[in-house]
Chains A and B, each alone.
Chain A
């Protein structure tokens, strides 16, 4: 499903030299898996996630999504891939503040070329599935943080992506709401949705099907107790 081969991402350090955000990471994620990526701040978790989504071009190595080698595509083709095959969920929700919940969820469908009516219908179905229909005409500022994240998940799901890539989706939520969001992700996974979730919360990570740990840009094989925020 997703194959990451010897992925390396290097940045120029501000004071000279190089920073290795990812140092030869290799990973295989099967269809229908729920994988949690854990590690300290700066360990490369988000960089790995964005690289898997075709958003961060690696210095070396490659990412394969299905049969497609992501970075063999040009920038516009990778954008098209993100529109249909990938759904991103963000820690700070990143909802467009001037759009309603319905419009936010419909946005990726519009970007993918759906008509206004088709996109709105698809968004309404997703909001219904997430129990957010009553809030469809509200703007993000009128929602609780938990509701915002549900809308963010809905936006990631509207085009029926192969994989949901969630970057610290519970990072801005209180523990109870975070549990609800992970419950939702588990439900979606139960319906067959492949999910990769970056988190620093081992308690929540433990609810995923598999945990992958990163340390200094590389896979860590130490016991999970040592990987804490």
Chain B
């Protein structure tokens, strides 16, 4: 440790009572910022999860422009190109949160033409055990009289459960393992890729990127994508930035005052350092490092306290607390930057003073 940081550390450790007030103000601001940000992020994730439950943001299906091609898709005869999934991943990169692969065919059941949907075994709220295991959409279950079994193409299928109502066409669906659906339709591959995007990613923008990516397939943007965009815009995010800027300004003002009072009180001490041969850089460094240390200590305490406070008040924050460290690090980093910037005017004024006058007047 060079002389300037050493002096700053010793001064703050020994005279910590003098710095306590400034430290407390910084801690209060850091706690407010951290708690607000953690709660806001938890709320945004909750909103995103609710929107995801409404269905995928985008669906990739076989391209079809003629009635015949659309009919083939509906009959499950047309699958997506094998390269489509890789092309989607390449086009969306980190913005893609999940891909659900489905094969959708249609069959007569209970006097109605219903969608028969092959899904991954873990895609539904209840597990599907084997090729004869199915789950029913809520409306289909009602029409079938909630029977424990159902016959499809002459096969007896075991009903594992009824899915919650979505208010959409899936309420009429019969869900079975993807391999069973492929065997039923005699189709390899899938004819739907349901894409979930990361929170805050525009579904319109993602649709445009996929359209440019030459998937050899059509992209359908569902209405919930618009909802997601709107919800994200209406969240706290628009206002958080300006609120944090105001708080940073208050913290900076507090640190400016603290640095000014400190330098005024230590006039003779700092002039003595110059008389002993301290360079201007050493004196400047001692003052800047002191302010940075003060900001770091206050913000670290505040960030930890804010995270604990937010976790105590919001179970969603508590569940995601392990991810809060990056926010705490960012808060401390920002506070240190503010601390250094706030001390610069005072430090420059201090090293510009005449040390002889300070020594004689002190």
Contact = CB atoms under 8 A, between A and B. Distances in A.
Question: Are A and B associated in one complex?
Answer: yes
Interface of A: 46-47, 50, 53, 55-56, 75-76, 79-84, 86, 88, 90, 92, 94, 96-99, 103, 107-108, 110-112, 116, 139, 155, 167
Interface string B1-15: 101001100110111
A55 B356 contact: yes
Given A94-B269, A108-B276, A111-B276, A50 B6 contact: no
Given A94-B268, A110-B3, A155 B276 contact: yes
Contacts of B3: 107, 110-111
B250 interface: no
Contacts of B275: 50, 53, 55, 82, 88, 90, 94
Contact of B272 (A50, A53, A90, A116): A90
Nearest to A49: B356
B54 interface: no
Interface residues of B, number: 26
Interface SS of chain B: helix, strand, loop or mixed? Answer: helix
11 contacts: A55-B275, A75-B280, A76-B279, A82-B275, A83-B276, A86-B277, A94-B359, A96-B7, A98-B13, A98-B14, A107-B273
Nearest to A96: B269
A205 B273 CA distance: 28
Given A47-B356, A94-B272, A98-B14, A111 B362 contact: no
A94 B11 CA distance: 15
Contact of A55 (B13, B274, B282): B274
B118 interface: no
B278 to A, nearest CB: 5
A23 to B, nearest CB: 17
B302 interface: no
Top 3 A-B pairs ranked by shortest CB distance? A83-B277, A98-B14, A82-B277
A76 B280 contact: yes
Interface in B303-336: none
Contacts of A103: 10
Contacts of B355: 55
Contacts of A111: 3, 273, 276-278, 282
Nearest to B13: A98
Interface in B245-281: 268-269, 272-280
Contacts, number: 75
A178 to B, nearest CB: 20
B360 interface: yes
A79 B279 contact: yes
B261 to A, nearest CB: 16
Nearest to A11: B357
A110 B279 contact: no
Interface string B328-362: 00000000000000000000000000011001101
Contacts of A88: 272, 275-276
Contacts of B282: 111
Question: Interface centre among B6, B272, B273, by most A CB within 10 Å?
Answer: B272
Contacts of A155: 276
B274 A79 contact: yes
A98 B359 contact: no
A55 B356 CA distance: 7
Contacts of B6: 110
Contact of A92 (B1, B276, B280, B362): B362
Nearest to A82: B277
Interface in B1-41: 1, 3, 6-7, 10-11, 13-15
B5 to A, nearest CB: 11
Contacts of A97: 269
Given A82-B275, A84-B277, A96-B269, A50 B359 contact: yes
Contacts of A96: 7, 269, 272-273
A199 to B, nearest CB: 16
A56 B356 CA distance: 6
Given A56-B356, A110-B6, A98 B11 contact: yes
Contacts of A46: 356, 360
Contact of A112 (B7, B277, B362): B277
Given A55-B274, A96-B7, 19 more contacts: A46-B356, A50-B275, A55-B355, A79-B280, A83-B277, A84-B277, A86-B277, A88-B272, A90-B359, A94-B268, A94-B269, A94-B272, A94-B359, A103-B10, A108-B276, A110-B6, A111-B277, A111-B282, A155-B276
A219 to B, nearest CB: 21
Contacts of B362: 92, 94
A112 B278 CA distance: 8
Contacts of B359: 50, 90, 94, 167
Contacts of B11: 98
A88 B360 CA distance: 13
A99 B279 CA distance: 19
Contacts of A92: 268, 362
Contacts of A98: 10-11, 13-15
A52 to B, nearest CB: 12
